[in-house]
């Protein structure tokens, strides 16, 4: 779905957090937006804030625990705007059971958690989907789940989110098998700066008084982690992209949240058939978006064609790592040849070299290769051997061209140069106070980079990467 203007979106839990950010984003796309939330005051404020920008929005107080309330939301949305195109099942609450084991959690706590996080989503689907399928226009159902819906554990909250994940998987298969124009996605964020840790503030009166936390320290830690998380508007931007590109599952997490070795089952659509893969994540990652529709996943063995027309044999790149293998005259040595011969035999598509400096006075560390001024035949021969070793097996070898700037160690130069005299402060490292560059020196450095790149090309390197440390 890539056309939003004039279409209608319904969002539950829209008065704050991710729901509010989604409402703002859809309104900016010139959609008609129906905001639903149980928190009436916050809902009115959100609606008013959007209307001041001439957006077409209405607010409907909605308790997703109550079927009739969701049906009333549906009726008002239809009455106001006609066809519904996007349904965001975003309303959700956190658990307040502390460290209690599953068997000690009160029934009414279970009922509220599952009622909001699972039954509310199911009722929303049952209420809106018949209409969305019947009118025959493109549409999308987005359900906010959580990383807790993919990972083991997470107590009662994890149970509720795993349930929603399974529900949406089933919905997706039904939508595909019936050849509808409706896509569905799940958003599985890690920590996001929302008020989900304060869910008890909205406990309906018919479920009794709000519960006090049984684990104050744990609650404080959770609140602190949420405040450190992604901002809702960042999430909303990614959601819009995902809807446009029909991603099924997309999520943001913090490093270390996913246990090493965790196996996830991945579904994606190819020629109207669902393919299934199982991937084992060996380490954690910051952002991962799995594409499950229209296009098959990209394999790391696939060729990559750059905008300039250059073709890389696969998607594997060895990053630049400082080497310190140059001789006392900062020339390439047989050690570079041996090292890059091994790396090019390893199968990578691109190898990035370590720092090759443009000025011998300002090194990142002793042992950097330096290219400056006219090169002797000996220097050119060494660089050619270096390039030949690194370009075996149709491997690209790109030279990282550098000027250390203020990151020049004091052992190399007590007075480095930089754009300003601000000294680099890094724990355990010693760097001198830099001297600001003159205009003439800046022009000289530019020329040095250009000269180094030219030598790299002439000696057989297939590309260059500019790297400077002056503004670190």
Q: Got the DSSP string for 419-472?
A: SSSPPP--TT--BPPPEEPPHHHHHHHHHHHHHHHHHHHHTT--EEEEEE-TT-
Provide the phi-psi class of 430: left if phi over 0, else alpha when psi is between -120 and 50, else beta.
beta
Please name every residue paired with 316 in a beta bridge, in sequence order, or none if there are none.
Answer: none
Which of 461, 412, 413, 406 has its CA nearest to residue 434? 406
Active-site choice (157, 251, 268, 340): 157
DSSP 24: H
Q: Is the dihedral of CA 326, 331, 332, 335 positive or negative?
A: negative
DSSP assignment letter at 396: E
Q: State how far the Cα of 70 lies from the Cα of 12, in Å rounded to an integer.
A: 9
Residue bearing tokens 């989503």: 121
Phi, psi (rounded to 5 degrees) for 268: -150, 155
* Beta strand ranges found along 147-298 (DSSP E): 182-187, 249-252, 262-270, 273-281, 287-290
Helix-strand-coil split of the chain, %, nearest 5: 40, 20, 40
The residue with tokens 């989907």 is: 129
Whether 386 is catalytic? no
Q: What is the rounded CA–CA span in Å between residue 374 and residue 448?
A: 11
Strand, coil or helix: 395: coil
Instruction: Report, as residue numbers or ranges, the catalytic residues.
Output: 157
């Amino acid at each position: 779905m890539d056309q939003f203007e004039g279409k209608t979106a319904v969002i539950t839990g829209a008065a704050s957090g991710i729901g509010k950010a989604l409402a703002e984003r859809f309104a900016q796309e010139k959609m008609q937006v129906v905001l639903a939330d149980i928190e009436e005051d916050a809902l009115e404020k959100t609606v008013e804030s959007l209307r001041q920008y001439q957006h077409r929005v209405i607010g409907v107080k909605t308790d997703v625990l109550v079927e009739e309330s969701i049906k009333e939301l549906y009726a008002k949305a239809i009455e106001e705007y006609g066809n519904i195109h996007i349904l965001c099942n975003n309303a959700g609450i956190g658990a307040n059971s502390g460290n209690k084991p599953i068997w000690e959690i009160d029934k009414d706590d279970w009922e509220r958690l599952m009622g909001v996080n699972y039954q509310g989503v199911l009722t929303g689907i049952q209420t809106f989907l018949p209409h969305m399928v019947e009118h025959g226009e493109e549409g999308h159902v987005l359900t906010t789940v959580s990383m807790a819906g993919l990972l083991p554990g997470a107590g009662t909250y994890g149970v509720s989110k795993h349930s929603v994940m399974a529900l949406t998987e089933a919905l997706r298969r039904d939508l595909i098998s019936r050849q509808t124009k409706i896509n569905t996605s799940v958003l599985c964020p890690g920590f996001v700066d929302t008020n989900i840790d304060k869910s008890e503030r909205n406990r309906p009166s018919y479920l009794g008084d709000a519960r006090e936390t049984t684990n104050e320290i744990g609650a404080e830690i959770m609140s602190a982690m949420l405040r450190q998380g992604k901002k809702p508007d960042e999430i909303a931007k990614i959601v819009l992209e995902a809807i446009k590109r029909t991603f099924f599952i997309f999520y943001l997490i913090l490093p270390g949240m996913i246990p090493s070795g965790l196996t996830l089952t991945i579904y994606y659509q190819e020629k109207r058939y669902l393919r299934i893969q199982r991937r084992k994540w060996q380490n954690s990652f910051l952002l991962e978006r799995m594409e499950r529709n229209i296009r098959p996943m990209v394999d790391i063995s696939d060729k990559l064609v750059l905008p300039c027309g250059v073709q890389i044999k696969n998607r594997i790149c060895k990053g630049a790592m400082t080497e310190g293998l140059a001789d006392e005259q900062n020339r390439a040595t047989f050690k570079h040849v041996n090292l890059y011969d091994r790396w090019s035999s390893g199968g990578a598509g691109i190898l990035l070299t370590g720092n090759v400096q443009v000025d011998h006075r300002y090194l990142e560390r002793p042992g950097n290769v330096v290219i400056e001024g006219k090169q002797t035949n000996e220097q050119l021969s060494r660089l050619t051997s270096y390039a030949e070793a690194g370009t075996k097996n149709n491997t690209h070898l790109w030279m990282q061209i550098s000027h250390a700037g203020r990151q020049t160690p004091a052992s190399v130069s007590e007075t480095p140069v930089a754009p300003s005299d601000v000294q680099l402060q890094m724990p355990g490292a010693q760097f001198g106070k830099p001297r600001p560059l003159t205009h003439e020196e800046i022009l000289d450095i530019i020329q040095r980079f250009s000269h180094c790149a030219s030598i790299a090309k002439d000696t057989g390197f297939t590309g260059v990467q500019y790297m400077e440390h002056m503004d670190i």
